[in-house]
Amino acid sequence: MSNKQEDFIVAIDGPSASGKSTVSREAARKLKVNYVDSGAMYRGMTWKAVREGVDVKDAVAVIELMNRTRWEFFIEDLVLKFTIDGDDPTDHLRSEPVRERVADIAVIPEVRVFMVTRLRETAEFGALVMEGRDIGSVVFPDAEFKYYLDADPEERARRRHKELLETEGKGDVEQVLSSLTRRDKIDSTRKTAPLQIPLGAKVINTTGMTIDEVVDFIVDEVNATR
């Protein structure tokens, strides 16, 4: 049961590889509140579509699949996790098949409506740090704390390339940059909840900053207000 008087929301938005996932997870840990990765849910839907052989560009088929899936959410070690039809997709959410198709799933308006509803419900678990691309603008526009993390495209590509080398043992910087550029275009031009700087959000360019510097900036601000 959450304490409504002490509940608060930290919304962290930004493009791929801007550092928001690492920053959000660490900020939540330091603040001792729940961490919610909204992108994981879109990747979960993508994983389900790929697994079921559904074309992610076929919106009607994706929506039909989504409407018959059963999602269950729970908190484990202050991290929101979920199952889809009883299966835990965690280990597959950042696989290449999912990574390269999630933008096509996320652009479907009905999928976004479904996810926004589920994301808002996670506040019932208590105070949280949530990261994504429309958290401060759509999911929680009235969040007490809103940040938009960004970084130069080349720096973002370098970070993602390093991540892929560590997790998959492979990766091409130019290909990663091309993939990020494609994702940025899809995210920023979609009709429903495009990627944008939320009203009232503080913009943090993380290009020349360490993760700890960004985390400390956010945590110090939150603690100074709470």
- What is d(CA 167, CA 144) in angstroms, rounded to the nearest whole number? 35
Nearest to 35 by CA among 55, 46, 48, 21: 21
How many whole angstroms separate alpha carbon 160 and alpha carbon 167?
10
Q: Which pLDDT value is given to residue 62?
A: 98
Which residues have C-beta within 8 Å of that of residue 133, sequence separation ≥ 6? 13, 14, 15, 38, 39, 106, 187, 193, 195
Per-residue pLDDT of the chain (226 residues; tens, 9 = 90+): 344 446 899 999 998 888 899 999 999 999 999 999 999 999 999 999 999 999 999 999 999 999 999 999 999 999 999 999 999 999 999 898 998 899 899 999 999 999 999 999 999 999 999 999 999 999 999 999 999 999 888 888 888 787 777 766 666 777 878 888 887 788 788 777 788 899 999 999 999 899 999 999 999 999 998 8
Q: Which domains does the chain have, with CATH numbers?
A: 9-217 (3.40.50.300)
Q: What is the pTM of this model?
A: 0.86
Q: Which residue stretches of 53-198 are H helix?
A: 59-67, 96-99, 102-106, 109-121, 153-168, 173-189
Q: How far is CA 182 from CA 37, 80, 84, 164, 178, in A?
A: 21, 28, 28, 18, 6
